[in-house]
Amino acid sequence: MNAPQKPELKKVINESGIEVKPLYTSADVEASGGMAMVGEPGAYPFTRGIHREMYRKQPWTMRQYAGFGNPADTNQRFKYLIANGQTGLNVAFDLPTQIGLDSDDPLAEGEIGRVGMSIDTLRDFEIAFDGIDLKKITVSLTINGAAAILIAMYLAMAEKRGYDIKELRGTAQNDILKEFIGRGTWIFPVEPSIRLVGDTIEYCAKEAPKYTPVSVCGYHIRESGATPAQEMAYAFCIAKAYADDAIKRGLPVDEFAGRLSYNFNIFGNIFEQVCKFRAGRSLWAKIMKEQYGAEKPGSMWLRMIAAGGGGGLTFEQPEVNIVRGAYYALISALSGTQTMALCSYDEAYTIPTEYSARLSLRTMQLLIAEMGLTETVDPLAGSFYVETMTNEMRAKMEEIMAEVDAQGGIVKMVAEGTIQAKVSAQAYGMQRKIDSGEFPKVGVNCYKNEQEEDHPVEFHPYNEDDARVQIESLTRIRAERDNTAVDAALARLRADAAAGTNVMPALMAAVKAYASVGEMTKELVSVFGRYQEPIKF
Amino acid sequence: MSNRPIKVLLGKPGLDGHDQGAKVVARAMMDAGFEVIYTGLRQTPEQIARIALEEDVDVISLSSMAGSHIPFCRKLKPLLEEAGLTDKLWVIGGNLPAQDHDALRELGFKGIFPSGSKLDAITDYIRSEVK
């Protein structure tokens, strides 16, 4: 009798384009490069983590993205999150603030306080952070186009409250190159935008050496359609562009590299994501050591927030996003991240309510309190599958970085729109696969609720009155401040921008004189011009 | 009906920078054989109305993800009316909560495609409405 025919196993290729086998053995680890790049946690090449004891010593920082309405509304939400055990803040700004418009600008109408808090002057920062101990709670500012201005404002606010900015910790996103690829809050053309990032790196290296002036984001590139391997590879290309600018200014690598950080996404296949982080950690260490000659271990660390997961959440059956979020948090914990944040289950609809934000916080706290994720460093190490995939992901990232170099580098590709066109074509391909059911999404193309309506989501209310209050406050500040001092500060800002002098000291003086975000942006636009988006398909 | 392909303006209104969806829909429209004019980010109501008029489009479509669709469409409607574009098909997609759909219809947007809509549903709808 013939043996029964074995059914043919379907070939599996992960999103990054690497084949996943049904079984891994030590032979696969060897064939992919062996254990040479694994090492020990806290030691080069840091595959297993940048610290030896990791979460045993200190669990990840929990930093939910939050902000809406006026600074006073946001101050209350901050205090609510801190009261519920959040250990850091991640500030959301409204779109006018993000692109350098004052609340009374006609283009800001209808957008004030909608997706984040509205900031016009230093006074708003004083209100937003009132009563919050900036030594205990570190603050991350999600600001890019207007980052130099908002960093100056944050440092000035801290100084005014008596903190020594030499000791002040905190982070600004300030990754403009990814804004041109996805997210879209650019203001100035590509070259002066990079120069402004360089100004913040240089200024902070000298004046606020514990502050992290840049958090390079693979996150939004992934949301725009990049694969996990591309997400990390493109982020490294971008970080290298900033590092090159800093080095051109004469900054030694070990004086700034330790203050660069990263922001990565956590949705998708669990093992592909975890291996992405392990691979990326060792690749970045290798780049900094071999290409930049870094000597301090801190300069080689891939410090990061592994967070969000928005791109994986669905509009359909929103409560299932609570469960997705829990798995994404697990990915984040297994990744060895320094900071964690989770998109809330209602974020496919709206900015989170207090209730949904707390639920996300509890999801992360659960991993610490009940699930044992902080007890042992890099618990997946040594798995034949994980070590093989880590090696293969690293090789894939190196291949992608070499392709970018061959095409003239990331800055050129972004300026010409070729990288945007590439990730957008991939996003289209993925949407077609979701529409056809080839790429399964629960509630979208399989396991749909056929019998009943989806559970409704409660909406965070938008208060139309916030705009009026914000504009009144700005009008009052303009009347009360010393406008001669403001004009002098703005003139100096324009002159420094034109002369190629670091603009941060001029910005510090301008924010302290209560110049507004819109006024400072206008001066910079008068020198730099505005970005023209290349539309390429 | 003329032989020219269906001509669509696809605009990104307001300050919202989320253009992944708009670009995906633009590609779907091109694959469906439409001529697509994608505006890029940060269009004012005036710019949308002007491009729609100058380009003589059959369809005026918007992609909005950051919640300001109602105030934007309130400003856009009179401008499109003034430009004599009421006979064109007005379509909007993106993060559009169900409770806003009636208001959008009253503002003249006949086709409403919230997040989660299939690409073919959008292009089939446009093809069936543009005669």
CATH number at residue A44: 3.20.20.240
Euclidean distance between the first and the last CA atom of chain A, given in angstroms as a whole number: 59
Q: Is the peptide bond before A45 cis (omega within 30 degrees of 0)?
A: yes
Question: Could you give the CA distance from residue A339 to residue A342 in angstroms, rounded to a whole number?
Answer: 10
Q: What percent of chain A has pLDDT over 90?
A: 93
Tell me the residue length of chain B.
Answer: 131
Contact A115 B66 (CB under 8 A): yes
Instruction: Identify the pLDDT of residue A79.
Output: 97
d(CA A335, CA A342): 14
List the alpha helices (DSSP H) in A249-383. 253-256, 270-286, 297-300, 320-335, 354-369
Mutate to test the interface with B, among A424, A441, A444, A445 (most CBs of B within 10 A): A424
pLDDT at A4: 65
Total number of domains constituting chain A: 1
Spell out the domain ranges in chain B: 7-44+53-129
pLDDT in tens, A298-338: 999 999 999 999 999 999 999 999 999 999 999 999 999 99
In a domain, A33, yes or no: yes
SS3 B57: coil
CA B87 to chain A, closest CA, distance in angstroms equals: 27
Span A199-208, pLDDT tens digits: 999 999 999 9
Nearest CA to A49 out of A306, A245, A294 is that of: A306
Q: Is B27 in contact with A314 (Cβ distance < 8 A)?
A: no
Residue A246 belongs to a domain: yes
pLDDT of A458 reads 83
What average pLDDT score do residues A61-80 get?
95
Residue B64: Cβ within 10 Å count: 24
The reply to whether residue A432 touches residue B119, judged by beta carbons under 8 angstroms, is yes
Angle at A175 between CA A173 and CA A176, to 5 degrees: 130
Q: Which residues of A touch B27 (CB under 8 A)?
A: 424-425, 428, 537
ipTM of this complex prediction, to 2 decimal places: 0.96
Distance from the B131 Cα atom to the nearest Cα atom in chain A, whole angstroms = 26
B84 touches chain A (CB under 8 A): no
**A136 within some domain:** yes
The per-residue pLDDT for range B4-62, each reduced to its tens digit, is 999 999 999 999 999 999 999 999 999 999 999 999 999 999 999 999 999 999 999 99
Pick the CATH number of B7-44+53-129 from 3.40.50.1820, 3.90.1150.10, 3.40.50.150, 3.40.50.280: 3.40.50.280
Q: Which residues of B touch A346 (CB under 8 A)?
A: none
Tokens of A8: 């043919």
Please list every residue in chain B whose beta carbon sits closer than 8 Å to the beta carbon of residue A424.
20, 23-24, 27
Strand order in the sheet with B35-38: B35-38, B7-11, B59-64, B89-94, B111-114
Residues paired with residue A138 on neighbouring β-strands, in sequence order = A88
Q: Which two tokens stand for residue A170?
A: 């905190």
Q: How many CB atoms lie within 10 A of CB A31?
A: 12
- Across the interface, do B27 and A185 touch by the CB < 8 Å criterion? no
Which residues span the domain enclosing A130?
A: 19-436
Nearest CA in chain A to B12: A184
What's the rounded mean pLDDT across residues A158-166? 98
In whole angstroms, what is the distance from residue B44 CA to residue B29 CA? Answer: 23
Chain A residues touching B38 at Cβ < 8 A: 535, 537
Tokens found for residue B52: 């729609």
pLDDT tier at A477 (50, 70, 90 boundaries)?
very high
Q: What does the pLDDT read at residue A129?
A: 98
Nearest to B73 by CA among B56, B39, B96: B96
Residue A460, pLDDT score: 79
Closest approach of A429 to chain B, Cα-based (Å) = 9
Confidence of residue A135 (pLDDT cuts 50, 70, 90): very high
Cα–Cα distance, A123 to A121 (Å, whole number): 5
Alpha carbon of residue A462 to chain centroid: 25
Read off the pLDDT of residues A95-128 as tens digits, 9 standing for 90 and up: 999 999 999 999 999 999 999 999 999 999 999 9
Q: What is the distance between the alpha carbons of residues B99 and A42, in angstroms, rounded to a whole number?
A: 52
Q: What pLDDT, on a 0 to 100 scale, did the predictor assign at position A1?
A: 52
The conformation of residue B40, written as its DSSP 8-state character, comes to -
With b for 16 or more beta-carbon neighbours within 10 A and e for fewer, the A276-287 pattern comes to bbbbbbbbbbbb
Check residue A451 and give its pLDDT: 81
Q: Round to whole Å and give the CA distance between A18 and A158.
A: 47
Query: How remote is the C-alpha of B107 from its chain's centroid?
Result: 13
Contact status, residue A374 vs residue A257, Cβ threshold 8 Å: no
Taking all residues of chain B, what is their mean pLDDT, rounded to a whole number?
96
Characterise B41 by phi-psi region: left (phi > 0), alpha (psi -120 to 50), beta (else).
Answer: beta
pLDDT at position A453 is 78
Contacts of B23 in chain A (CB under 8 A): 424, 427-428, 537
Side chain identity, residue A119: I
A435 contact residues in B (CB cutoff 8 A):
118-120
Q: Which residues contact A208 (CB under 8 A, 6 or more apart)?
A: A155, A165, A166, A168
Of B19, B27, B95, the CB nearest to A349: B95
Interface membership of B44 toward A (CB under 8 Å)? yes
Place of tokens 């659960």: A366
Confirm if A367 and A361 have CB atoms less than 8 A apart. Answer: no
